[in-house]
Amino acid sequence: MMNIILFGPPGSGKGTQSIKVAEKYGLVHISTGDIFRRELKEKTPLGIKAQGYMEKGELVPDELLIDILRSEMEKHVNPEGFIFDGFPRTIPQAEDLDKLMPELHAEITNVLALEVNDQEVISRLLKRAELEGRSDDNEEVISNRLNVYKTQTRPLINYYDEKGLFAGINGVGSIEDIFTNLCNVIEA
Ligand code: B4P
């Protein structure tokens, strides 16, 4: 089983690349951001709880995440593997995942981070704001999301590097070139 974590700053292309990786390797794509947006659209109690955090660019509290992830994973019988897009985002989430994987007789095989500078991220997200109008894609919230990434998510690099699982990938360039680099690392 291939179980890949893909993370990176907001706007680094996690969603874009995860879809392509999932398709190529037959993996189930789990995006926690997509799950929260879906729940919010359906006005479920979880979506309503997540809304305030997402609109401010804050992370949804850790304790809500692991049960969501478990139930998404358990929907699939005998999967080829999973690609986790935007999860984990904090050390406590990574620790919860370390406990969950053996319970599901699985293990993380790769942790990949897309490296993109702040200027590029801001310009991508402002462009997306024009096209899609996501409420968290405005300058003030983007800047908070970047700070949250640096303080809460970037420490995962060390966490997974110590386990020998981490690889950073240049996330600036064409979507196809970045995808080729990701595949090369996955297959190495
Ligand atoms: P996410 O949905 O994960 O939002 P994101 O970080 O903006 O990434 P996204 O996948 O949308 O963008 P991508 O980089 O692919 O999370 C949203 C919110 O949900 C969080 O702020 C948080 O509140 C909450 N949340 C989610 N997971 C959580 C967790 N585990 N714990 C707590 N809270 C959680 O792409 C961005 C844009 O760039 C796109 O428009 C794309 O077309 C473009 N792009 C992609 N690749 C490109 C390239 N190579 N060149 C140019 N443009 C490119």
Write out the chain's pLDDT in tens, 188 residues: 999 999 999 999 999 999 999 999 999 999 999 999 999 999 999 999 999 999 999 999 999 999 999 999 999 999 999 999 999 999 999 999 999 999 999 999 999 999 999 999 999 999 999 999 888 999 999 999 999 999 999 999 999 999 999 999 999 999 999 999 999 999 99
- Active-site residue 128, yes or no? yes
d(CA 147, CA 58): 9
33 within ligand 1 shell (Cβ under 6 A): yes
What per-residue confidence (pLDDT) applies to 135?
86
CB 30 within 8 A of CB 87: yes
d(CA 94, CA 87): 8
What per-residue confidence (pLDDT) applies to 155?
97
Atom of ligand 1 minimally distant from the CA of 14: 15
Question: Rounded to the nearest 10 degrees, how much is the dihedral formed by the CA atoms of 74, 94, 39, 145?
Answer: -160
Q: Kindly report the protein residue whose alpha carbon is nearest to atom 26 of ligand 1.
A: 33
15 within ligand 1 shell (Cβ under 6 A): yes
CATH of domain 2-180: 3.40.50.300
- Active-site residue 145, yes or no? yes
CB 55 within 8 A of CB 69: no
- pTM here is 0.94
Alpha helices in the chain (DSSP H): 14-25, 32-41, 45-56, 62-74, 91-103, 118-132, 139-148, 156-161, 175-187
Domain boundary assignment for the chain: 2-180
What per-residue confidence (pLDDT) applies to 9?
97
Q: Looking at 38, 127, 128, 163, which residue is catalytic?
A: 128
d(CA 111, CA 84): 9
How open is the CA angle 34-37-41, to the nearest 5 degrees?
135
- Active-site residue 38, yes or no? no
How open is the CA angle 118-120-123, to the nearest 5 degrees?
105
For 23, 53, 105, 137, the CA distances from 182, given in Å and listed in that order, are 13, 31, 25, 26
d(CA 181, CA 162): 22
Q: Looking at 20, 37, 89, 124, which residue is catalytic?
A: 89
